[in-house]
Chain A
């Protein structure tokens, strides 16, 4: 690994740390109104890597027709999305700070707003991958080179529409579509394997004709390798199964379904969480 690669990784890791801090501030802001903390923290390393180095977009021209698209199909993960969009300059910080605060355009699930980098409204699970298929199909029709990335949850794969989209993407040879699965093993009611056993997960996607990659979703080096591997030759869509930890970065949230959606993120917990991330009380906003 070259020095420039190492410094790139370090930069992403540092940004991810700041973004996690901001995600915690959003949880604090939501307070007793509740926020999906675990599902947001688990995707931050993936999203930071995507927005910092993988996606091709222009902050000054967010509606550039040839931009790569990213859709958060597991829409309840906004704590992981909004701070990333703010960090790269797509979403103004003063709007971010309005999250769950008075009248706001930022709710608990993304709402289509290309100006701020939100490519589709999601929230009800099992829709985003199909929307992504539509976008990727449009790129094929228009012979455009942009790539579409859809982040889905592992629990989200309980929805039948995921598999409808999965079949359509294979049929239309959408090698310009990449699904990323936040494979954290937990969903609202408990362990994904117990709520609805979908294993072997990789084999399912392989049997549907997808190219499957597995990655440690918190290892930036590993993520970069997989994203760079984008295979354009086999005319099939790709899924990156990213093994993640729900609540990653805050010990008491990790693998704790209590923090899938929590209404108890008070100042005390926020200080604890920030401390673990190397921040201080004064960093709360």
Chain B
């Protein structure tokens, strides 16, 4: 496995999620000769071009046909291949939902779906390219794990974990470059085990993806008002870390969830399900996208600001709800 020095971590963060995947998949191909990468006319965008040059026999270009890509991956895996299907989040989930359900998950195939630019990352490209329902959809499919890393090291580490697991996984990535660094060299990724990044007795914030960094900054802001915040990185949304949610709901008055996803069916829903079943009385505040289509477009950053998915907005909402 690659060594992640401070310099490497810094470099990966500068490059962003797409390039981190592109770098790691090259080494995975080296280590696991049964790796097959499939592309649906987005090999440059998903950074698998180098893989296709290095392992031409293990690269399948299906053209603009995501449904076909998923079913072909199922067939390849029936013969022992470990497949990676990479495309934009909405195409990987909405376009070929049935293929992911019937051909990959139902048949428990060793297929890893890499969804780039989820959430609002595609900014000006508009709703057709936003991935705002993907967690809800993928979470409801049995056998399929749903993972959403918060930084590039976390992505690199999780990739090396999921190649050891012979089953289907949906990896939800954000876009852009200069991704805030959350983790360092000693970080160990464990599927299904969330990471408590800071301890606090007043509020617990469960966040996923890029929102983990915003939650951490929100906790610093709140600290100035003497509010102690526990920040939890829920990198695995399915299977959800019941134990940590239960503990937080017993120990802190307010539970907050933050996600770049429709409020219906995502991380907030997953946490709400756990809390409701535990029967604890903690209050829940879900922060995410309203259940409305966006009609005014802007940059990723501006959209996050507009929809209150920034540290300041999170901190303000916490204060109002305490």
Contacts and interface: CB of A to CB of B under 8 A. Distances in A.
Interface residues of A, number: 28
Interface string A159-179: 011001101100010000000
A127 interface: yes
A141 interface: yes
A121 interface: yes
Interface stretch (B96-104, B179-187, B292-300): B96-104
B183 to A, nearest CB: 35
A9 interface: no
A138 B62 contact: no
Interface in A105-147: 112, 119-124, 127, 130-139, 141-142
Contacts of B77: 134
Interface string B49-73: 0000000011010110101101111
A127 B68 CA distance: 8
A61 to B, nearest CB: 16
Interface stretch (B78-86, B115-123, B203-211, B247-255): B78-86
B107 interface: yes
Contact of B76 (A65, A122, A135, A160): A135
A127 B71 contact: yes
Contacts, number: 96
B141 to A, nearest CB: 14
Interface residues of B, number: 27
Contact of B71 (A130, A138, A167, A172): A130
A134 B81 CA distance: 10
B84 to A, nearest CB: 13
B9 interface: no
Interface in B21-49: 36
B78 A134 contact: yes
Given A120-B74, A161-B71, A164-B68, A131 B103 contact: yes
A133 B58 contact: no
A64 B111 CA distance: 22
A165 B79 contact: no
A161 B57 CA distance: 24
A185 to B, nearest CB: 26
A139 B72 contact: no
A138 B76 contact: yes
A137 B102 contact: no
A164 B68 CA distance: 6
Nearest to B77: A134
A179 to B, nearest CB: 13
Given A112-B107, A124-B98, A141-B36, A168 B79 contact: no
Interface of B: 36, 57-58, 60, 62-63, 65, 67-68, 70-81, 98-99, 102-103, 106-107
